[in-house]
Amino acid sequence: MRPAATVPSTARREDNNDERVATMSPRGPRAPSVGSQGATLSDVAQAAGVSMATASRAINGSPDRVVGEELRRRVLEAAARLDYSPDANAQAMARGRTATVGLIVHDIADPYFSAIATGVAAAADDEHLAVTLANTQHDPQRELAFVRTLQEQRARAIILAGGRQDDERANAALRAALETYRSHGGTVALIGQPVLGVSTVQADNTGGAAALASELLRLGYRRYGILAGPKAHLTARERLDGFAGVLESAGVTPEAVVNSAFTRDGGYAALAELRRRAPDVEVVWAVNDVMALGAMTSARDAGLSVPGDLAFAGFDDIATLRDVAPPLTTVHLPLAEMGRLATPLALDVDGGVRQLSVTGEVVLRDSTPRM
Amino acid sequence: MRPAATVPSTARREDNNDERVATMSPRGPRAPSVGSQGATLSDVAQAAGVSMATASRAINGSPDRVVGEELRRRVLEAAARLDYSPDANAQAMARGRTATVGLIVHDIADPYFSAIATGVAAAADDEHLAVTLANTQHDPQRELAFVRTLQEQRARAIILAGGRQDDERANAALRAALETYRSHGGTVALIGQPVLGVSTVQADNTGGAAALASELLRLGYRRYGILAGPKAHLTARERLDGFAGVLESAGVTPEAVVNSAFTRDGGYAALAELRRRAPDVEVVWAVNDVMALGAMTSARDAGLSVPGDLAFAGFDDIATLRDVAPPLTTVHLPLAEMGRLATPLALDVDGGVRQLSVTGEVVLRDSTPRM
DNA sequence: CTGTTAGCGCCTTCAC
DNA sequence: GTGAAGGCGCTAACAG
């Protein structure tokens, strides 16, 4: 399985980095001493023969005042010549606000979150904001810690992505941290459930799952196995409620409902348990796509064919699905768009707590053929 | 395909956010005026009846001086009581350096980059550094712009992830921007090719691809189709060279070599072209996994079975592969580890330009059965 | 339209 | 071990 490369190694030339010479700007000697940390606005002003105020206005175009054509040109020229780079930290201090938003995710390697991150990054870019990424690794402690760190950085806004837990203790702690952050002038938005008292972008999990259940029923499925995720996970629970509710009104009872982590590995492990508890299931629905994918792989590893022996469905419509075979039936969520939407919500200075809701769309694919 | 949810909408309760009350700290009245932006160190010092210097030392433990037990306790107590949150921007100014590293990636939604980001985030965390994420969307202009932005933020280090292009114009511009950044005190590391005159973590692309080719030959494959990525992309080129080199020494000439974007969609599109040019290929090798996955889907969309009609192999071993069927043969790269490794390299203050090399490991899977 | 003058919040020599 | 004072780089009132 893992043969070493028994090949004439043309590879691995280690040090062809000799081009790091003569990269100095060909514009003549830089002003200050060697090893300088760069020119300051004061240097620029002096070089241009104007006051710092004028230099500042010329470079950053202050709201009110406008600088005369001639001086402006001189300032800009001097700035360029000196490789002047405004110090964002100093600007932040003087202006009393930064140009940074924080993005807190559970796991940036999860396609769900990286899609959201894409949306946030795009929106932030439009607003000329930098985004500080915080990866909690699913640890609520770290989530808390990151809120504090972001507060210390005076990030203008924080976007928290990821469903909340039904854990009043943890929620209370986070709520308090966010409240402190807000009392310090920050603003917050959440992508998940509105249980933190902040603006929220939420997906219609219940409705989407319900719609999916309806479709599966219509396709003729009657024996359901459900990978429900963690009991306390609100997203998981909402989806489960929506799905199970429809089954129930149709007089169908799931063969088994298995709880597990909300992750790919959680799905993989849960499938084995599901089969133990209910060997004769027709279709497995997992409350999110990564779990469904893990479960599908688990089923295959156990010798089952998909969808021949077992059909599968998920939720989210992560990008990964484009290349999965058979294509996975799911509920499409506009993930990047949700990240995009959350950004202005988070930046909202009115202090108003707003809610945005996006709906999911059932997408039937080959993993759930008509029975 | 897209039925609306015709379900009793228990869903979408919009505003259960009434819990945003009474979240104020139960520790008595906050000191300053309403709408305060938070206590400053000076407030804390005053409340503790000590000088700012002492307060500062008590809270951040300055290098030399140590604060007495009693005063230290009083300061910490006051800080807690006032919800004091140190201002990282002010600290950055006073100290002359920030606690931020910048991470520039082409596309955070690409599993290759999100894996690297995970490693960087973990390593940065260990060093108590925040990471600013810059998503270039494959645009060299934006890459340049982000270097400048990160410089303005005075990010302590920048990590550039992603293979370089053979575009001396673009490289020169980037090299100059990085040089400026470095002259301002920043440090840089690159994950890719050492063509920018900065410390680099590089994968042994040539060796890995060569080893893969050897294995495929050993399995009996003789008719190769290669999805080579962009001609100017150095990673693509290195891999191609390694692979083609081994084929050549074995007296095998690829049936076709198709260029395309280095992305999933590039792979998808390229496969059609490949089949047009060489209908009788036995195995398709793409220079990275996302291309291979796109190509596999393309083949299936064209009615081929994998690996029955056509075998596939890739490069990188992205996490996605765990749930792909049939499992894709590839060259494993320790992506997260590469991100981890790049971080200390980037932080290196010695100014030394260092090179680190990681090797790839061929992983044979079901997508390339023995012929 | 341009210049002067205060700080923004914190750290850090330097004295005591 | 503690305090006083200067300054990091920039912006934002105020005056002219």
Note the pLDDT of residue A180.
94
Question: Within an 8 Å CB–CB cutoff, is residue B369 touching chain A?
Answer: no
Helices (H) and strands (E) in chain B, counts: 12, 12
Note the pLDDT of residue B10.
32
What is the spatial distance between Cα A292 and Cα B351, in angstroms, rounded to a whole number? 48
CB nearest to B121's CB, from A114, A115, A133:
A133
pLDDT band of A16, cuts 50, 70, 90: very low
Contact: A135, B122; criterion CB under 8 Å: yes
CB nearest to A20's CB, from B83, B197, B211:
B197
Q: What are the distances in angstroms from CA A18 to CA A15, A23, B33, B195?
A: 8, 11, 59, 9
Measured from the CB, is A57 under 7 Å from any atom of strand C?
A: yes
What is the pLDDT averaged over residues B39-60? 95
Question: What pLDDT digit, counting tens, does each position of A119-143 carry?
Answer: 999 999 999 999 999 999 999 999 9
- Average pLDDT of chain A? 89
Measured from the CB, is A240 under 7 Å from any atom of strand D?
A: no
pLDDT band of A67, cuts 50, 70, 90: confident
| Residue-wise burial string across B77-104, b where 16 or more C-beta atoms lie within 10 A, e elsewhere | ebbebbbbbbbbbbbbbeeebbbbbbbb
CB nearest to A90's CB, from B93, B296, B361:
B93
- With 60 as the cut, is the pLDDT of residue A171 above it? yes
Note the pLDDT of residue B115.
98
Question: What pLDDT digit, counting tens, does each position of A205-253 carry?
Answer: 999 999 999 999 999 999 999 999 999 999 999 999 999 999 999 999 9
Residue of A nearest to B171 (CA): A19
What is the pLDDT averaged over residues B280-291? 98
How far does Cα B186 stand from its chain's mean position?
A: 19
Question: Within an 8 Å CB–CB cutoff, is residue B359 touching chain A?
Answer: yes
- With 90 as the cut, is the pLDDT of residue B9 above it? no
Q: What 8-state DSSP symbol labels residue B233?
A: B
Which residues of chain A make contact with B23, given a CB cutoff of 8 A?
A: 175-176, 179, 197
For chain A, how many residues are written?
371
User: Lowest-pLDDT range, A91-95, B13-17, B199-203?
Assistant: B13-17
What is the pLDDT averaged over residues B332-340? 98
pLDDT band of A60, cuts 50, 70, 90: confident
What is the pLDDT averaged over residues A74-82? 95
Note the pLDDT of residue A23.
29
CB nearest to B7's CB, from A17, A246, A325:
A246
Contact: B210, A11; criterion CB under 8 Å: yes
pTM recorded for the entire structure: 0.90
What is the pLDDT averaged over residues A95-106? 97
CB nearest to A264's CB, from B90, B246, B323:
B323
Q: What 8-state DSSP symbol labels residue A53?
A: H
Residues 76-135 of A with CB under 7 A from strand D: 84, 86-87, 90-91, 93-95
- With 80 as the cut, is the pLDDT of residue B12 above it? no
- With 80 as the cut, is the pLDDT of residue A301 above it? yes
Measured from the CB, is A35 under 7 Å from any atom of strand D?
A: no
- Residue in the block written with tokens 């939604």: B109
Q: CA B339, C1' C14: Å apart? A: 43
Share of chain B above pLDDT 70, in %: 89
What is the pLDDT averaged over residues B286-297? 98
Residue of B nearest to A294 (CA): B323
Question: What pLDDT digit, counting tens, does each position of A145-156 carry?
Answer: 999 999 999 999
Q: CA B54, C1' D3: Å apart? A: 8
Q: Which helix (H) or strand (E) holds A189?
A: strand A187-191
Which residues of chain A make contact with B135, given a CB cutoff of 8 A?
A: 117-118, 121-122, 125
What is the pLDDT averaged over residues A12-23? 30
Measured from the CB, is B57 under 7 Å from any atom of strand C?
A: yes
What is the pLDDT averaged over residues B209-216? 98
- Average pLDDT of chain B? 89
Give the DSSP letter string of A331-371.
Answer: EE--HHHHHHHHHHHHH--S----EEEE--EEE--TTS---
- With 70 as the cut, is the pLDDT of residue B221 above it? yes
Question: Within an 8 Å CB–CB cutoff, is residue A23 touching chain B?
Answer: yes
State the smallest CA–CA distance between residue A65 and chain B in angstroms. Answer: 24
pLDDT band of B67, cuts 50, 70, 90: confident
- Residue in the block written with tokens 């779990």: A291
Q: What 8-state DSSP symbol labels residue B22?
A: S
Residues 42-71 of B with CB under 7 A from strand D: 50-54, 57, 65-68, 70-71
Q: Are B108 and A102 in contact (CB under 8 A)?
A: no
Question: What pLDDT digit, counting tens, does each position of B107-127 carry?
Answer: 999 999 999 999 999 999 999
Which residues of chain A make contact with B325, given a CB cutoff of 8 A?
A: 296-297, 300, 306, 324-325
- With 70 as the cut, is the pLDDT of residue B16 above it? no
Note the pLDDT of residue B38.
86
* Closest residue to D6 (CA, C1′): B94
- Residue in the block written with tokens 């690159």: B190
- With 50 as the cut, is the pLDDT of residue B153 above it? yes
Q: What are the distances in angstroms from CA A233 to CA A163, A342, B39, B100?
A: 7, 21, 36, 32
